Each structure stands twice: as structure tokens, then as C-alpha cells.
Structure 1
């Protein structure tokens, strides 16, 4: 009996009984983005496709899709929920007027793959970060960038919560910008984590950011020097005796209402955390494949996550016949995402 239940657990592709979005992409999923205005979910994939679904209670309806010439790595919505920006290995960013049914147009170009895109409504500009060691700001009506910012190394991650923008590059550089003065670095710091940066998330109050790395660790970093005592790092996405199996933290997302956050990792698990009380609020069962990305919807009632091969072990370990890609939706419960008082503080 114990053997059969163990075997079932090992092969259960959906151990958290989440709702599956169909049809799923035919290759690994690189990003998930919810519209800020409606339950429209966009996924980008290594199969060169960008897909959108309309999510209803208990159902998902394919809405539309577009193609890039090469794998697509990133996506972001315009703040009005009408338009999606996507970038990838074809070195360009496409603007897709999804709600109007319009055709995508190329609005940004780089000299190497585009790893990150973000829309900055307060500036009416798009920002794109690339492996060509630049961040570029774009007025989408103009062919040339409004500004090109040189980076010390390849861009691996960007997070924007105006006026704060943080860019993570190789060599563990974290470059902080005040977008009220975007052409000047506000601060450059070395990551508090010892290994390569994988993901970033700006605090909802713009006072700092989270950084996740390939070593199964997250850093909580405040920008104000007077708040440095509040900085800390913690281990997550580790398994085995004393955490000897270490997995990458691939995704960091703040809950839009409660300001707690989710981590997702190459161990196939996602967890919800409260940085203020330094507690894990909820740990979910491990899926059989990595989770490369996750996203909350606009009101935080849904957490979407992808389960698929994440290329961390190279192409030689990818088996397309068995490594199917899935997108799942978890309906969040308040007890999972609402912060708790820190033990002994009485904080509400």
C-alpha cells in the first residue's frame, strides 16, 4: 500500500489539484502575465508562440495567439489591459493590440536576445533588457529608443514599481534606478546572494526588493541605509538531508492585495511567504517538473504557474516525449496569502 501511494505521488503531474489551462504550449513556458484589468492570461514559450486565454470560473478559453521567429522569453501588459509586449531570441519586442484584434508590430530592437520587458505607465514608455548588456527605453511610436542605458553585464532580470526599477545582471550586479532620473544609476550593489541572480520583485511600497538565485535562496533587501538591519536572506526550494539538494528560485511575485509573495522553483514547488513576519504561509506539493514562472491575477484570487522543463540541465536532459508543458491555476485562500503577526510582536 505504501509503495503504490508513493508511486502515484511520484507520477502525479498535478499534486495540488490545480485547474489546468488548455491547450498547453508544445514546448517549455518562459513567462506568464495576467492582464491588470481582466482575467486574461498570456504565456510565452520556447515554441516561438505567445498565447492568451480568457479565464472564467472553472474554465479557460483560448483567446488569440501570435508568433515570433524564435523562442519568446518575456511578456508584459500595458496598464490599460489592451496590449501585450513580448520579447525573445529574435532580438525584438512586439506590441500586440490583443483586445482590438490587431496585428503585432515590432516596437523595439536589440543586438542580442531580449530577456525582460516592462511597461512604465507613469512615463508612457516601454523598457527592455537584453543580453546585449543594455536597457532601452522606448516610445512605441518612435523607431529609435528614447534612451539606451549601458549595463556592466547581460540583463537577467528586471523589476519595476515606479519610481523604482532594479536590474539584475550576470556577475551578481544589482543596479537600482530612480525612474524620475532614469539616465543615472541610483545605486549599484552586489547581490546579497553568492550565486547567479535569477529573478527580482520590487516591494509594493518601493522601499526595496526581493532577489532570488540559482542556489535556492531569496534575499530581502531595503534601499534605505537606515533600514539595513531589516535585510535578510533565507533558504527555500531545497530538499534532502539538511537541504543538500539545491534548486533555483525561478519566480518571485508579490500578492497585489496582501503584499505577501510567492516563490517558485526548479524543484517543482511553489510557496507563499510573508517577509514582514519572516514566515512561510503555505508550502505546496512538489510537481514532477520545474516551475519556471508564476503570476498572480489583478486581485490576487488566482496564482498561475507553469510546470515544464526549465533548461537548467541543458538540452541534453530535455526529453520532449515525456516533458509535457502545463499551465495551472491555483485559487488562493485568504489563509494562504494574508500576512500573520510575527511571533511575540503582537503586530496585526
Structure 2
């Protein structure tokens, strides 16, 4: 079975995002916090997690993503900026500035794109290479974006009003290259698909399947929806939603938000993290829960699997459901769980 330990140098304020490096052999992960820092950690063979560096920002950091390698990090900040950080030199370059706080940032290595989403209801598409012939392009969204996720070919944008847009990354890359010499082009790109969420309440998180076939999204009302990209009626008939992260308290079914979703990179199962402080593992194909882990000290804020799928990092922070504004000792933390060989694997029928 697995064992779990706590990171000794966590952020000093609420954690907004956590991402493992997607690159083989790497055990580095980056964390975004409301204390205005992005943190870079590394897990070593002797089961130690070390804080390597902290990168200060002017405002709370809301999202983070690795770039072309472990020495490149992108951040989304409440000061409206999207930044590229060179880990070795610690230099920060502003890629673009939105007109409101930047909620999400993702990186597509297949298409050389950095994509950010802000509360000004725009996407900014940036070239990953500083030598690119085009600059930032902007796409207007119909409502505020809450979460972004990329697969090898798709970008999923989850927004308010239960709206979901799915873009083909190849189309975005092609259209952006056509804007060469335009300093900041506004693109009128239609999404590949427009969808209405299967969930009745506000979307909290979205994550794409590692096999590029679909995605899962979660809501503030303790539900998760699993959907496939293929628009055929056969594939759409496979989509489903289910209840989770609920606890009976004094004969009342208390419902918690599902704050985080993370697909396992090898087995295709996925983890959900709730405001109840619980992490659960699910089999999307068999439509069943594989396991549930012991409740943690605060709401689950973010989760990520290592690139080889052998480690799960979970960040906890006080959430709205706790009714607390103050950060108390032990309520912000990062737990590292070493996973057993079959711990998050689909069970044979």
C-alpha cells in the first residue's frame, strides 16, 4: 500500500494550483499561492520533498504550468499578468496583460502554445517560443472562464453560465501564425464545439483524459460529469454524471464542492478532491469508485499526478465551506502520497 508524508515548507497562504512536471524522469512540481509566490519543489529518491525556489509576484498567483522543460514555468496572476519564469536565472518576462485577474494558464508542447484565461472573459494565445513571428492573440469568450485544460489536440474552456468551449489546438496555432506582424490581434475563431455543462451548478474544475478522447468536469454541488469529444450520437450517449463528496451530518446530506480533478497519466483513472477534505479515485469507464483516502485537515485545493503516475501530490487550504477567513496552523499544506502498483489501476471485471 501507499505511504504519505507532508511537505515541510508549504506556502504561507491559501494554495490555488499545483502541477507536476509532465516530463519523464522528473519529480518536480510547482505550486501557486495567495501569498504572492510560485513555489518549485522536487521529490528525491530518499523520499524527501525539497523546496528548490520561490518566485515572488506582485499579487496572488492563481495558476501555474511547466513550459518546454523543467526550467520554464508560466504563471497566471491576479495582477492581470501572464509571466514566463526562467528557473535557472529566476528572470520573469510578462507575456501579456489581460484587463482583469488571470485565472488559468496551460501549455501545449505539441503546438507550441501558452494559453491564458482571465476574468475579463478573454483567452490570450501566446507563442511558446520568444523567436516566433507572431505575438499574443486574443479570443473573446461569452462569459468568465473558471478552468482550462489541454489534451494533445484540444483545449477545453469551462466558463460561467455552464458554458463549455472546445477548441482544436492545431486551428488555434494556424490562425495565430496568420496574425504575424500584428502586435495584439483579436481573433474571431469559432470553437470546434460549444457545449452546455451536464452539471446544473457552477463548474469548478476541468481536466482532459490522457488518451485525448474526452474530459471530466466538476461543480460546486458535489457532482462530476464525464464526456467524450467525439460528437457522434454513439459517443455522446456514453456521457454521464454522478454525485460525490457528500457526507451525512446529523441526518442531513451535506454537499461539498469538487475543487480539483486529475487524470492518472498511465491508467486513465482520475482523482477528485473535495471541500470535505477527501480524495477519491474513480474508474471513468466502469463508472465506479476505486478507493477513497482518509479525510485531510482542510479542503482539497489542488492535485496532480507525477509523470510516471507513481506519486500523487495534494494541496489543502481552508475553503469557503469551512467558513473561515483566517489561515490557521496546519490548514495549508501539501501531502505527498506514494502510490502502490495497483492502487489507482482499473480493476479487472
* TM-score above 0.5, yes or no: yes
* 2:192 partner SS: strand
1:335 aligns with 2:342: yes
The correspondence for 1:77, drawn from 58, 66, 79, is: 66
CA change 1:143–1:53 in 2 (3 A) is farther
Counterpart of 1:304 in structure 2 is 313
1:32 maps to 18
1:43-101 Cα offsets, whole Å, 9 max, x none, are 11000011111211321122111111111100000142221101121111111111x23
SS at match of 1:240: strand
Residue of structure 2 equivalent to 1:7: none
User: For residues 169 and 28 of structure 1, do their structure 2 counterparts lie closer, same or farther at Cα, with a shift above 3 Å needed?
Assistant: same
The match for 1:237 among 232, 235, 245 is: 245
Does the Cα contact within 8 Å between 1:108 and 1:143 map onto a contact in 2? no
Q: 2:166 aligns with which of 153, 163, 176?
A: 176
Q: Which residue of 2 aligns with 1:10?
A: none
Once residues 204 and 282 of structure 2 are traced to their aligned partners in structure 1, the CA distance between those partners, rounded to angstroms, is 18
Three-state SS of the structure 2 residue aligned to 1:180 is: helix
Q: How far does the alpha carbon of each residue in 1:207-261 deviate from its partner, in whole angstroms, 9 at most, with x for none? A: 2110100011100111222212211111111110687100011111111111111
Classify 1:61/1:117 alpha carbon distance in 2 versus 1 (closer, same or farther; 3 Å).
Answer: same
2:95 aligned residue: 107
CA distance in structure 2 between the partners assigned to 1:325 and 1:104 by the alignment: 26
Provide the rounded CA distance (Å) in 2 between the counterparts of 1:55 and 1:206. Answer: 28
CA distance 1:321–1:275, change in 2 (3 Å): closer
Q: How many residues align?
A: 324
Residue of structure 1 equivalent to 2:183: none
Match in the other structure for 1:261: 270
2:137 maps to what in 1? Answer: 147
Specify the SS of the correspondent of 2:235.
helix
Deviates more, 1:322-331 or 1:209-218: 322-331
Q: For residue 124 of structure 2, what is the aligned residue in structure 1? A: 136
1:223 equivalent in alignment to 2:229:
yes
Structure 1 gap segments, 5+ residues each = 1-15, 343-348
What residue number does 1:65 align with? 54
Contact 1:42 1:53 in 2 (8 A): yes
Q: Is the contact between residue 136 and residue 145 of structure 1 (CA under 8 Å) also seen in structure 2?
A: no
- Cα deviation, 1:6-38, whole Å, max 9, x if unaligned, reads xxxxxxxxxx96211121111011111111231
Matched-pair contact (CA < 8 Å) for 2:219–2:257: yes
1-side partners of 2:37 and 2:163: how far apart?
Answer: 31
- Structure 2: unaligned runs, 5 residues or longer: 173-188
Show the counterpart of 1:18: 4
Which of 186, 192, 199 matches 2:192? 186
- Once residues 293 and 89 of structure 1 are traced to their aligned partners in structure 2, the CA distance between those partners, rounded to angstroms, is 18
Distance 1:243 1:230, change over 3 A: farther
**TM-score computed with the length of structure 2 as normaliser:** 0.88
2:112 is matched with which residue?
A: 124
Alpha-carbon offset, residue 184 of structure 1: 2.5
SS state of the match for residue 181, structure 1?
helix
CA contact (8 A) 1:264 1:271 kept: yes
- Matches of 1:322 and 1:23 in 2, distance apart? 13
Give me the whole-angstrom Cα distance separating, in 2, the residues matched to 1:193 and 1:131: 21
In the other structure, the counterpart of 2:325 is 318
Offset, 1:143: 11
